[in-house]
Structure 1
Amino acid sequence: AKNAKEKQSLLPVTIKQLKNAPSAASGEQNFTVDGHELHQVTIVGLIMTAEEQNTNLQYTIDDGTDDIIVKMVDQESEELMVQRRAEWREGKVVRVVGQLRMFNNSRSIVAYNIQPLADFNEYTFHFIE
């Protein structure tokens, strides 16, 4: 039961922790932080760049410890994506939930969810967690 629960757990991390996370014994797409295998992670940071690509939206997000590429695959209706692009723009602070991935020797996050932060306290609290 522990493995199933661990796979669903959401670990708040800094981008620096993700960049420095060693690969887990279970495979090159799995990483560990503080002895925990990463499945879903959450970061909070500032959108530095926002780019639209054919099949995804790509962001560079900086949380003060480092920056990382976040990719959001376009699986929503066109009008919802237009709304998202308006919400997720440079200079916005957001919470990202996703999975750390390695692609061409570079780490990025494939996002399931990106939410603008309504409250700066949420940003501070993330780093306390």
Structure 2
Amino acid sequence: MNSYTSNYNPYQQTSYGGNAAPDGGGFMQGGGFGSPGMGGSPGSGGRTRSANTLRPVTIKQILDAQQPHPDADFRIDNADIGQITFVAAIRNVSLQSTNVTFRMEDGTGLLEAKQWLDAGAEGAGGNKFEGWTDTYARVTGQLKSFGQRRHVSVSHIRQVTDMHEVLYHLLEATSVHLYFTRGPHQPTSANQAAAGAGGQQAYGHNPLDAQLAGYNLSPALRQIMAVIHAAPDTNEGIHVRNLVQMCPPGLVPDMGEAIEQLMGEGLLYTTIDDEHVKSTVQT
């Protein structure tokens, strides 16, 4: 854990995470951000739904969570939270008669997580957490506050052995933060083209559509033009092979014939060879 500690940087980079070791996200199937499992639209998230959500967060987000009054749900990004999950390094494990307290940090903040012990369970507490100090773990639970101090009441904790999960969690927590603060992701023209959103309707608000308004092009040809304009703008243009890969399968029966039609309309021309084409349309 020396590399983690040496790169440690106190917690002030962003509202959703710092620039040290990230606090990985789900590694969970289904229920990504924006799915029904997230519960609610940006800026909403009613109390009746928050208990059924599982939100990936960083420790800084937990510490910054708002609680309008003592009986209210905690809120992050103006949305109520129920169950939360985070990934962090365990810096200390303290075993008491009723609970195990984990001192955890993820490069964005420090927090205690408490797992209450079932006194009647065989081997409750025991040696289960020996050797967990200075390892990563994923925690799932609920944010609690007692005596002006916050902690997470743990419903599940497990060690993280794949460092990809640590990185993944930061990305997922960031994605969810952006969903609630900026709204659902709006596909760009390139994504729409690649996903098969065809025709004038798909590009009605795109400058390219206005430029092509005077041409009698099929939806498929308009889509090809959109893909070409979404590709990096270079002097060589786009290779036909790359164009085929970027277009939805089966968009046109013959890409070569489609290119010939567009060249016939004066919309495309070849550059360094017959396999590279570039648009004549300025947007």
TM-score by structure 2 length? 0.42
Displacement of 1:54 in angstroms is 1.5
Query: What SS class does the counterpart of residue 85 from structure 1 fall into?
Result: coil
Displacement of 1:24 in angstroms is 4.2
The answer to whether structure 1 residue 84 and structure 2 residue 128 are counterparts is yes
Structure 2 Cα separation of the partners of residues 78 and 59 of structure 1 = 21
Structure 2 Cα separation of the partners of residues 82 and 118 of structure 1 = 22
Q: Is the Cα contact below 8 Å between 1:29 and 1:102 reproduced in 2?
A: no
Displacement of 1:8 in angstroms is 1.1
Q: Which residue of 2 aligns with 1:52?
A: 95
Partner residue of 1:10 out of 43, 54, 64: 54
Partner residue of 2:75 out of 12, 32, 36: 32
Q: Is the Cα contact below 8 Å between 1:48 and 1:90 reproduced in 2?
A: yes
Q: How many residue pairs were aligned?
A: 127
- Over residues 96-119 of structure 1, what are the superposed CA-to-partner deviations in whole Å (9 max), with x where a residue is unaligned? 000000011001000000010121
Residue segments in structure 2 that go unaligned for 5+ positions in a row: 1-38, 41-45, 173-283
Query: What SS class does the counterpart of residue 70 from structure 1 fall into?
Result: strand
The answer to whether structure 1 residue 93 and structure 2 residue 136 are counterparts is yes
Q: Could you say which structure has the higher helix fraction?
A: 2
Q: Could you say which structure has the higher strand fraction?
A: 1
Q: Is the Cα contact below 8 Å between 2:118 and 2:124 reproduced in 1?
A: no
Query: What SS class does the counterpart of residue 97 from structure 2 fall into?
Result: coil
Query: What SS class does the counterpart of residue 23 from structure 1 fall into?
Result: coil
Sequence identity percentage: 27
AA partner of residue 52 (structure 1): L
RMSD of aligned C-alpha atoms?
2.1
Change (3 A) 1:28 1:6: closer
Structure 2 Cα separation of the partners of residues 24 and 125 of structure 1 = 31
Q: Which residue of 2 aligns with 1:65?
A: 108
Structure 2 Cα separation of the partners of residues 29 and 15 of structure 1 = 20
Q: Which residue of 1 aligns with 2:255?
A: none
Change (3 A) 1:29 1:118: farther
Q: Quick one: higher RCO (CA 8 Å, sep 6+), 1 or 2? A: 1
- Over residues 38-70 of structure 1, what are the superposed CA-to-partner deviations in whole Å (9 max), with x where a residue is unaligned? 110001000011001120000101011001010
TM-score by structure 1 length? 0.87
Query: What SS class does the counterpart of residue 123 from structure 2 fall into?
Result: helix
Residue segments in structure 1 that go unaligned for 5+ positions in a row: none
- Which protein is bigger by CA-based radius of gyration? 2
